[in-house]
Chains A and B, each alone.
Chain A
Amino acid sequence: MEIVFLAFILILSIFLGFELINKVPATLHTPLMSGSNAISGITLIGAIVSAGSDHELIATILGASAVAFASINVVGGYLVTDRMLGMFHKKKLEGKK
């Protein structure tokens, strides 16, 4: 039953993803990619559990490296997306506010 439940969530999320992303305009496709890239760094939370548990040493090593790689993804991804989106402007009004 567990598998069915997880699969159910999976299918619904994929459909939700299609609906959401279809509305993103072409202008924002690069920030969309880097931003969704940061979201895929969600593996970080799985990595944290592995790195902190007292299982075999190898699990800790695997977990800690996964934490590092996923953090690059999350931190770098969100920051660079923010930097990019900060550049998108509409025509500036004469005499800045």
Chain B
Amino acid sequence: MNAAILINLAYIASAILFILGLKMLSSPETARRGNVVSSVGMLIAVVVTLLNQGIVDFTWIAVGVIVGSLIGVFAARTVAMTAMPEMVAIFNGFGGLASLLVGWAALYGTDATTFLAVTIVLSVLIGGVTFTGSIIAWGKLSEKMNSRPMLFTGQQIFNSILMLAIVACGVMFAMDPTNLMYLYILIGLSFVFGVMFVIPIGGGDMPVVISLLNSYSGLAACAAGFAINNLLLIVAGSLVGASGIILTKIMCKAMNRSLTNVLFSGFGSPKTGTKQVEGTVKPIVAEDAYFILEAASSVLVVPGYGMAVAQAQHVVKELQELLEKNGCEVVYGVHPVAGRMPGHMNVLLAEADVSYDVLQEMDQVNPRIDNFDVAIVIGANDVVNPAAREDEGSPLYGMPIINVDKSRTVFVLKRSMASGFAGVENPLFFKDNTRMLFGDAKESISALVREFG
């Protein structure tokens, strides 16, 4: 059989395995096998590609695969679960960079037609933006950079000129693909654009950015697929592109903001609501909190990024076990944008061996919220801020929240009275049924665990 036909038939098999793998991700029971299925699809694709008759020398392929795999294995083994967002961010970036390079390399060995030039422009542009955008996202997530939004005067004008320049360079290159100068400028400009795209976005909006970059990394692969005329790249790339778009949509909906608002507004500069916050803050000590918990028959735990920072997930699980032993029901209410990436809290709690059937979504816990004796808020702030419901002047107004203030008692575990990412005052802290347990989340929960002991 002709090698080209064999390769393409195997690509169909790979595409099917990718699709089945993603389908199996729809349930935690089959998800792990689904990931294996998907990786087998990848293995088949790589192996049959080696049969390609255009390949004359395997040295550089081997070097690249070995170097990349070693780094990949090391990163996957050593990364802490709390650092997952920055790891995914940097991987997105590598995917984008690889697509940029593949698109660029497509220029050699064939006669450049206008169609080819256009596809190269697209893969270089999307790949470049994904690469530097992800590097900045990684910097902000790992706190190597200030995670506040970076804004400067004339930013919008600068970005508009940048976009015009990118379009102009792309058109010039498409008209004359032999003139590589335009391609080089285009690569440089897309790198700058990636940076400009992420710097105005604040830490709290990172779940949106990281989902969007995830989508771009797929679209970059897709564009590279057009450039080298490879159907599997197009299929796999668009599956990933679609996945990222859906996640982006879910994140935006959970913050009640449009994508344009997230990308261009520079959220995070301190704003104040119109309503004056009334009431006083009522601190509580672990000993008193214990008596309330001991009498409770149902407890809701609402985790946020603060739980990740304090590495408190393991002691939370200990507390859960003690409460359950005491005959109390414990449920976790996870807001879609809690943490720095979609599903971040779930992974952390899974790491601490919390069963996934007690991890519930906002829409599952809100209808029965007034039946919880105690809601424990651990390092979450904006996602439980009742101003989103009550204060029309608040920047959070309209965002769906977990209505912990409606449960009988609320414990808020917090370091200090500082406001959340959005920089908005939280009236929850001043409500009559709220008690503040100040201090490091891990320390506070350990203290509770000791009271039980």
Contact = CB atoms under 8 A, between A and B. Distances in A.
Interface of A: 2-3, 6, 9-10, 13-18, 20-56, 58-60, 62-92
Given A36-B218, A49-B228, A80 B76 contact: yes
A79 B72 contact: yes
B19 A73 contact: no
A25 B27 CA distance: 7
16 contacts: A13-B235, A25-B26, A26-B342, A28-B28, A40-B95, A40-B240, A51-B60, A51-B61, A53-B54, A67-B65, A68-B67, A69-B94, A73-B72, A79-B76, A85-B35, A90-B28
Given A14-B238, A66-B101, A72 B91 contact: yes
Which applies to chain B's interface (DSSP): helix, strand, loop or mixed? helix
A73 B109 contact: no
B39 interface: yes
A17 B60 contact: no
Given A14-B238, A27-B359, A37-B95, A78 B75 contact: no
B22 A21 contact: yes
Contact of A16 (B221, B239, B336): B239
Interface stretch (B196-204, B345-353, B409-417): B345-353
B236 A90 contact: no
A68 B26 contact: no
B241 interface: yes
Nearest to B246: A21
Interface stretch (B44-52, B279-287, B377-385, B423-431): B44-52
B57 interface: yes
A10 B15 CA distance: 13
Contacts of A85: 28, 31-32, 35
B105 A42 contact: no
B238 A17 contact: yes
Nearest to B52: A49
Given A29-B346, A62-B101, A71-B65, 15 more contacts: A3-B115, A26-B334, A29-B341, A39-B218, A46-B233, A54-B56, A64-B60, A68-B67, A72-B71, A72-B72, A72-B94, A73-B91, A78-B42, A79-B76, A85-B35
A37 B108 CA distance: 27
A29 B88 CA distance: 12
